[in-house]
Amino acid sequence: MKIRAPITFTLVILILLTGCTKNGQQTQTPAQSTQSPETPVETAAPTATSVPMALLVNNEGIPMFEYEAEMLRLQDALAELGLEMTPEEQKSRILDSFTDELLLAQSAAAAGHTVSDADVQARIDQLIADMGGLDKLTDWQIANHYTDESFRAALKRQMAAAWQRDTLASAVPETAEQIHARQLFFKNEANAVIALKQLEDGVDFATLAYQQDATLGGDLGWFPRGMLTQPEVEEVVFTLQAGERSGIIASSLGFHIVYVIERDPDHLLSTEARLMLQKAALAEWLTAARAGSTIEILVP
């Protein structure tokens, strides 16, 4: 039995995480006066209109209309997948996603990365080509509760966030201290005690492991810190050197006895291991970013 951290299910709301948009500026045409040029016209001072906000992160926010559209997209996806979430879970999922996105985009901006109108236009052009025409993209926007303006804003924000995610991921090294080990695993503690006694009497660890697991012999492969789902096991294993074994380690899964085959202070990470470390690095970064930010939830 290989102890691995489960891959977290992530619901992707937008079609592309690194998408961009066209420049959607609108030109306002001033109303023509019905009075003659000679007649002085009194003009009232412009009245500032505030857009209701759903979320503010460091004074940068998500408008309520965008939050409501995202809620519709989530509900559509849940219905299509046959999944259920409570209204509070839906609200939390959306606000968490927007918060993470804003924090990442803000960090990208602070690092000097900008998403230009040209970048946005290029990405929109590519989307149009990929989807088979502007009408197809427009139909998709309508079906997914986007206006042209909100779609552009969302893609631009996500493009900046994706740059920061990639930056964090690339900072994770390709090598790390790792251990190659095999284990005996028991649901019942009494069986673990019997196996430990056999090992103490000189029975070869691999022999017992292949009796329990004829295919892999309990081989866990190479793994770095943070790869095992059971921290109790990992804590003990990384105190061992090559050729050493543990005693009985209790975890939420059961009872483990682990033997270290090899140990390398700078071993090449597998694709799976590096991906997990990258996800862990992102989660750690977001936790720290949240702690250092002002986050205001304005949704009732």
Task: Please tell me the distance from the alpha carbon of residue 247 to that of residue 189, in angstroms, as a whole number.
Answer: 12
Q: Are 185 and 1 in contact (CB under 8 A)?
A: yes
Task: Please tell me the distance from the alpha carbon of residue 219 to that of residue 11, in angstroms, as a whole number.
Answer: 33
Walk along the chain (300 residues) and give the pLDDT tens digit of each residue: 444 333 333 333 343 333 333 333 333 333 333 333 333 434 344 444 589 999 999 999 999 999 999 999 999 999 999 999 999 999 999 999 999 999 999 999 999 999 998 898 899 999 999 999 999 999 999 999 999 999 999 999 999 999 999 999 999 999 999 999 999 999 999 999 999 999 999 999 999 999 999 999 999 999 999 999 999 999 999 999 999 999 999 999 999 999 999 999 999 999 999 999 999 999 999 999 999 999 999 999
Task: Please tell me the distance from the alpha carbon of residue 147 to that of residue 155, in angstroms, as a whole number.
Answer: 12
Q: Are 295 and 57 in contact (CB under 8 A)?
A: yes
Architecture of the domain made up of 53-171+285-297: Orthogonal Bundle (1.10)
Phi-psi region of 82 (alpha: psi -120 to 50; beta: other; left: phi over 0): left
User: pLDDT value at position 33?
Assistant: 34
User: pLDDT value at position 247?
Assistant: 98
Task: Please tell me the distance from the alpha carbon of residue 159 to that of residue 56, in angstroms, as a whole number.
Answer: 19
User: pLDDT value at position 49?
Assistant: 55
Q: Could you tell me where the beta strands, DSSP code E, fall in the chain?
A: 53-57, 60-63, 175-186, 219-224, 249-250, 255-268, 295-297
User: pLDDT value at position 120?
Assistant: 85
User: pLDDT value at position 117?
Assistant: 86
Structure tokens at 145: 């509760």
Structure tokens at 202: 């000189």
User: pLDDT value at position 36?
Assistant: 36
Q: How far is C-alpha 142 from the chain's CA centre?
A: 26
- What does pTM read for this prediction? 0.76
Task: Please tell me the distance from the alpha carbon of residue 34 to that of residue 47, in angstroms, as a whole number.
Answer: 22
Q: How many residues comprise the chain?
A: 300
Structure tokens at 230: 């059971």
User: pLDDT value at position 224?
Assistant: 97
Instruction: Indicate the domain borders of the chain.
Output: 53-171+285-297, 175-268
Domain 175-268 CATH (choose: 3.30.2420.10, 3.40.190.170, 2.60.40.10, 3.10.50.40): 3.10.50.40
Adjacency order of strands within the sheet including 219-224: 219-224, 175-186, 255-268, 249-250
Task: Please tell me the distance from the alpha carbon of residue 249 to that of residue 257, in angstroms, as a whole number.
Answer: 6
Beta-carbon-side half-sphere exposure of residue 121 (alpha carbons within 13 Å) = 6
Structure tokens at 52: 């209701």
User: pLDDT value at position 213?
Assistant: 95
